[in-house]
Amino acid sequence: MSSEPVIEVKELVKSFRRQMLKSDYTTWKTLLLKPFSRRRREDYVTVLNGLSFQVPAGRTLAVIGQNGSGKSTLLKILAGIYKPDAGEVLVRGRVASLIELGAGFHPEFTGRENVYLNGAILGLSKKEIAERFEYIHSFSGLGEYIDAPVRTYSSGMYVRLGFSVAVNVDPDVLLVDEVLAVGDEAFAHKCEDKLNQFRASGKTICLVTHDMGAVEKYADDVIWLDGGRIAAQGEAKRVIDAYRQKVARDEDQIRRREGKQEKAEKLEQKRWGDGEATITDVRVLDAQGRERAVFETGEALTVEMDYQLKEPLDDLVFGIGINNAHGVVCYGTNTHIDRVELGQAPLKGTVSVFMERLDLVQGTYTLDVAAHAKDGRAYDYITQVTSFAVRSSVGDTGVFRPPHHWRLTAREDSP
């Protein structure tokens, strides 16, 4: 195998004209009326801004990033569908792109006819398709439906047939855009096998996906695109972690923005109590005291409650509860259980509960807060006052995540 990289990208720039916003399409009329209207600079959106990378032969590259980060544009440029505005793109060898499955399928034609048509579109000769037809047919698992018109197919069958043709093009370079999750589970396994087979036979693969599991499974290298630039690049695990943290931060911001609006309403709903004490605000904070809505598992978390009393109370108890998305109470406690003496609480104050480690598994959690009497009579009880998410790069399951480690030792059985 040659040492030359199969995919070479240097200083790639691609921008699109921002046209869909204003007048729809240019027409002869506008052309005749305003022949000299200049295209202004701000009419362009730069989608890819100076990318450079290489993919050596036989490696699998995954491109990750949020929607609109330029992943699919990059793939289309690699496929040759778009031309770069600046920079160089070089792809050596026969390219097959799994960007669109079943392109050119005609609904009135049978699956068999469409296999030939689609194969021709993907660059196979009639003879090549005929040779592979039996294999394509069995791979698709369509059975006798192969001779039914494609319009009668379910969407799963349609995609399966498209995938079966596409992977049989026998390329040197395979470009895949979010199509791994097609069909039912059995078919997904077949696709996985096929992809592994490609990898094993030394083909170069470029993969665009949001499925981090797939990235970890297949990718040798990962490129994380953010706003048209490479935000991070390199070994899968490291880049994915960096990406996840960024996503968590963004998500956190959005959740907090939404949360602020919701909280005002929530303070009124699903709430009961005689009003001797009222909780006026609830905040979820991280170790640095900043408000957050997304936490990594194992991070510190603080819940702060502002309260007001009508008159001094001597049996005041504050409590919190954390519920997961299924409504299971993951943890609940209060100052009475924890034997915290509040003494004569001031009429206005803030009570905080500090958790050094939040050992919950990944998921979304809601928070209940309460101020009540020692005998359980509610002064102010608010359920689901706010929510926060826990992110984890570990795929463990259950409710909580006790700090743990594993060990294996040999055992000598004494005779």
Binding positions for other proteins, rule: CB under 8 A: 16-17, 25-29, 31, 76, 79-83, 95, 97, 99-100, 103-104, 106, 108-109, 116-117, 120-123, 125-126
Q: Alpha-carbon distance 31 to 241, whole Å?
A: 50
Which residues are 363's β-sheet partners?
390
The CB density around residue 150, as the number of other CB atoms within 10 Å, is: 21
Host H or E run for residue 75:
helix 71-79
CB nearer other proteins, residue 150 or residue 294: 150
CA dihedral sign, ordered 226, 228, 234, 235? positive
Number of C-alpha atoms within 13 angstroms, CB side, residue 270? 15
CB nearer other proteins, residue 117 or residue 284: 117
3-state secondary structure of 206: strand
Could you tell me the smallest distance in angstroms from the CB atom of residue 66 to other proteins?
Answer: 22
Angle at alpha carbon of residue 224, lines to 1 and 231, rounded to 5°: 115
Could you tell me the smallest distance in angstroms from the CB atom of residue 129 to other proteins?
Answer: 10
The conformational region for residue 152 under phi > 0 = left, psi -120 to 50 = alpha, else beta, is alpha
CB nearer other proteins, residue 50 or residue 149: 149
Per the structure block, which two tokens stand in for 129?
């398709």
CB nearer other proteins, residue 120 or residue 232: 120
CB nearer other proteins, residue 83 or residue 326: 83
CB burial string 97-118: b at 16+ within 10 A, e below: bbbebbeebeeeeebbbbbbbb
CB burial string 204-236: b at 16+ within 10 A, e below: bbbbbbeebebbeebbebbbbbeebebbbbeeb
Could you tell me the smallest distance in angstroms from the CB atom of residue 30 to other proteins?
Answer: 8
CB nearer other proteins, residue 76 or residue 137: 76
Could you tell me the smallest distance in angstroms from the CB atom of residue 202 to other proteins?
Answer: 23
CB nearer other proteins, residue 65 or residue 84: 84
CB nearer other proteins, residue 8 or residue 128: 128
Could you tell me the smallest distance in angstroms from the CB atom of residue 184 to other proteins?
Answer: 24
CB nearer other proteins, residue 19 or residue 278: 19
Could you tell me the smallest distance in angstroms from the CB atom of residue 104 to other proteins?
Answer: 5
Q: How far is CA 54 from each of CA 31, 90, 92, 194, 232, rounded to the nearest angstrom?
A: 42, 9, 12, 24, 14
Could you tell me the smallest distance in angstroms from the CB atom of residue 16 to other proteins?
Answer: 6
Could you tell me the smallest distance in angstroms from the CB atom of residue 80 to other proteins?
Answer: 5
Angle at alpha carbon of residue 212, lines to 228 and 253, rounded to 5°: 60
Host H or E run for residue 387:
strand 378-391
Could you tell me the smallest distance in angstroms from the CB atom of residue 162 to other proteins?
Answer: 11
CB nearer other proteins, residue 98 or residue 389: 98
Single-letter amino acid, residue 22: K
Could you tell me the smallest distance in angstroms from the CB atom of residue 97 to other proteins?
Answer: 7
The CB density around residue 350, as the number of other CB atoms within 10 Å, is: 12
